Amino acid sequence: MQCKGKRFIEIAVGLPVYSTYTYIAPAGETDAVLAGRRAIVPFGKKTATGYILGDASILPEADVKPVCDIIDATPLFPATMLDFFKWVADYYLHPLGETIKSALPTGDIPRRDMARQAGTKTAIGDAVKPDVPPDLTPEQATVVSDLSARLGHGFDACLLAGVTGSGKTEIYMRLAEEALRRGETALILVPEIALISQAEQRFKARFGEKIAVLHSGLSRGQRWAQWLKILRNEVSIAIGTRSAIFAPFASPAVIIVDEEHDTSYKQDGSLRYNARDLALVRAKMAGGLVVLGSATPSVQSAYNARTDKFAVTHYLQHRVNNNPLPDITVVDLRQVQKHRGARAFISDELFHALKSTLEDGDQALLFLNRRGFSSFPVCAACGETLRCRHCDITLTLHKKINAYKCHFCGFSLPATAVCNTCGSTAIKHLGMGTEKIQEAVQQLFPDKSVARLDRDTTTRKGSIARILKDLKNRRIDVLVGTQMIAKGHDFPGITLIGIICADLSLNFPDFRAGERTFQLLAQVAGRAGRGEKPGRVIMQTYNPDHFSIIAATQQDFKSFYDQEINFRKALAYPPFSRIVQLKISATDREKSRDAARRAGDACRDMKHGDPAFAAVEVLGPVEAPIPRLAGRYRWQILIKAPGANLLKQFISRLINENGAAIKKGNARLVVDVDPFFMM
């Protein structure tokens, strides 16, 4: 809006405020496109960075201030993305300016143009050889022709449920190629960490310079360079982890979410979005196609497919080359005879299978979803555990660094630490982690190369790639690892998978515990037998009769789903409801409890005070399963409603009317929409 020669513009500042503000554009900028550019604006007594949304639509009140400066010469994202940002901010109840801020690369745009540096190398510096597209299998061909035909015909969502090794990535590449052929763009999301380098390599081998890559392993400068390539239409394909859902394509024709069930799509902090869910929203806004692929689809997506919320579900029942799915043997840990020493966690079945695999010159993966050496250091004199000073959890001994560490806050004690209660030096190292397994296997097979892949061995840049490369080139005989080994890798030399303890995630206080366990186990098992030789899986468990475990041994997500969905329905959990978790915390125990009580009372008053909220359920407040983390005392309230809109109305009214009162005395209140991490 212009008035008396002045141009009024609307700006969202990158601060925790829910409104947007009107400012006067600089005199020289009366006609330029301003939306999508950043500006420095006066805000209170200070200045702030803001994102220009466009011209103000209502005449502002009297004393409107001029912006101090406009930072960017051109917009940082296409105007079409503004509606998407607004949707995201609205849905996750997050300030718009902060939403845009967390979508963009951080820091300033580097002066030097780094876009040229990338070349046909991967982010970790591997040269990529161009590949020759294989002939599609009949199953793949059917899917590719159906999905290609949907391109350019408006919004469609598709679930691609294909067993591990069925060639889903090839399908993604054909779809991207089809989008390119039509002069359009494609966005591909993959889960965090290791998968990105593998997917990146395959896409670079196929598409060379035409792709941009966005993930957390890039430096700020590299991130900006990739971002600008997308923005300036220098590439037509972007591939990346969670945050790549914000890649600045004006209107992607296809968005692919690989391993759509993966929890790394949910951000656990600041803007708590789920990129898988946002892929659907963005595709709908762009009138494009969205493809969610997985061997173990999430209950949510499977439900959407069953209830015809999605246009089509494609199944790939066979592995490429018709390799059989691995044969899975379940070992009931309640029945096995306990060995001492190195064999304590390795049953006879697993030991003999390992032995013969290694004798044949093949490779094995051993999976245990817990890192460190001992997860349960306990005093032999008084029975107390060694605990973190700031969190209500036991410390984990890490032999490699000779220290006890807290896996939540990073607190550490030297390995020589004594019992905090009685001062005894006799600490028993119970509880196993990947480090202990690695040591045990190395003792059992001293002349084999036993390596480990977990967060501790991969802190340095490029270390994941190095380990995976060694695995591929068979410089590693046995790889012990956490869920990092579960994800999507394709190594033909692996013929044995040992699952040391299948139950670790089963009893988590989380309604998705069964789903996570099923997905993790089925994915790990799927790493076996991808080459010429058939694969074998030995799964050790204390719960051989649990349906999540049984379904995982059969790699049968349909049977898992059929049982799980009944349980969700009976308890009105998603997908039969929407939930928001309020996370309330304070550094003082009393204050945290009082704040939680105020929040709970406010919720109940609202529910009972307005018939519109009759269907809203308020559960809690309860102390969090981990009652203290990093020095903060924590409480939770779960709020359930049959639909997203009702829930949002409820929560936004709660925040507007009671937010400040709840936070009295420095308590923190976090709203987590569609929560994933409930501990």
Partner whose footprint covers residue 406, from ligand ADP, Zn ion, none (CB < 5 to 8 Å by kind): Zn ion
Question: What are the Cα distances from residue 157, in Å, to 125, 558, 652?
Answer: 35, 19, 29
Taking the complex as a whole, the smallest distance from the CB of residue 137 to ligand ADP amounts, in Å, to 5
| Interface residue with ligand ADP, options 50, 95, 165, 240 (CB under 6 A) | 165
Residue linked to tokens 């605990």:
387
Contact yes or no for 636/584 (Cβ under 8 A):
yes
Residue 589 is inside which H or E element, if any?
helix 589-609
Nearer to ligand ADP, 319 or 632 (CB): 319
| Interface residue with ligand ADP, options 281, 320, 478, 603 (CB under 6 A) | 320
Cα-trace Rg, the chain: 27
Taking the complex as a whole, the smallest distance from the CB of residue 495 to ligand ADP amounts, in Å, to 16
Q: Is 261 in the site for ligand ADP (CB under 6 A)?
A: no
Taking the complex as a whole, the smallest distance from the CB of residue 134 to ligand ADP amounts, in Å, to 3
Nearer to Zn ion, 29 or 588 (CB): 588
The helix/strand/coil state of 31 is coil
Taking the complex as a whole, the smallest distance from the CB of residue 533 to ligand ADP amounts, in Å, to 15
Taking the complex as a whole, the smallest distance from the CB of residue 320 to ligand ADP amounts, in Å, to 4
Contacts with ligand ADP: how many residues (CB under 6 A)? 15
Cα–Cα distance between 453 and 456 in angstroms, integer? Answer: 8
Question: What are the Cα distances from residue 37, in Å, to 23, 81, 86, 215, 446?
Answer: 14, 13, 16, 23, 61
Q: Is 493 in the site for ligand ADP (CB under 6 A)?
A: no
Nearer to Zn ion, 16 or 410 (CB): 410
Partner whose footprint covers residue 328, from Zn ion, ligand ADP, none (CB < 5 to 8 Å by kind): none
Nearer to ligand ADP, 325 or 358 (CB): 325
3-state secondary structure 171-222: HHHHHHHHHHHCCCCEEEECCCCHHHHHHHHHHHHHHHHHEEEECCCCCHHH
Partner whose footprint covers residue 381, from ligand ADP, Zn ion, none (CB < 5 to 8 Å by kind): Zn ion
Question: Where does residue 129 rank: exposed (0-12), middle (13-18), buried (19+ CB within 10 A)?
Answer: exposed
| Interface residue with ligand ADP, options 36, 75, 97, 162 (CB under 6 A) | 162
Contact yes or no for 454/479 (Cβ under 8 A):
no
Partner whose footprint covers residue 168, from ligand ADP, Zn ion, none (CB < 5 to 8 Å by kind): ligand ADP
Nearer to Zn ion, 389 or 604 (CB): 389
Q: Is 166 in the site for ligand ADP (CB under 6 A)?
A: yes
Q: Is 523 in the site for ligand ADP (CB under 6 A)?
A: no
Q: Among 210, 202, 213, 219, which Cα is nearest to 184's?
A: 210
Cα–Cα distance between 235 and 243 in angstroms, integer? Answer: 18
| Interface residue with ligand ADP, options 490, 510, 556, 617 (CB under 6 A) | 490
Q: Is 126 in the site for ligand ADP (CB under 6 A)?
A: no
Name the residues that contact Zn ion, by CB under 5 A: 379, 381-382, 384, 388, 390-391, 406, 408-409, 411, 419, 421-422, 424
Cis status, amide bond into 621, omega within 30 of 0 = yes
Q: Among 261, 312, 281, which Cα is nearest to 159's?
A: 312
Partner whose footprint covers residue 313, from Zn ion, ligand ADP, none (CB < 5 to 8 Å by kind): none
Q: Please, which residues bridge with residue 13 across strands?
A: 50
The helix/strand/coil state of 592 is helix
Taking the complex as a whole, the smallest distance from the CB of residue 176 to ligand ADP amounts, in Å, to 13
Nearer to ligand ADP, 137 or 185 (CB): 137
Cα–Cα distance between 372 and 594 in angstroms, integer? Answer: 37
**Binding region for ligand ADP (CB under 6 A):** 134-137, 140, 162, 164-170, 320, 490
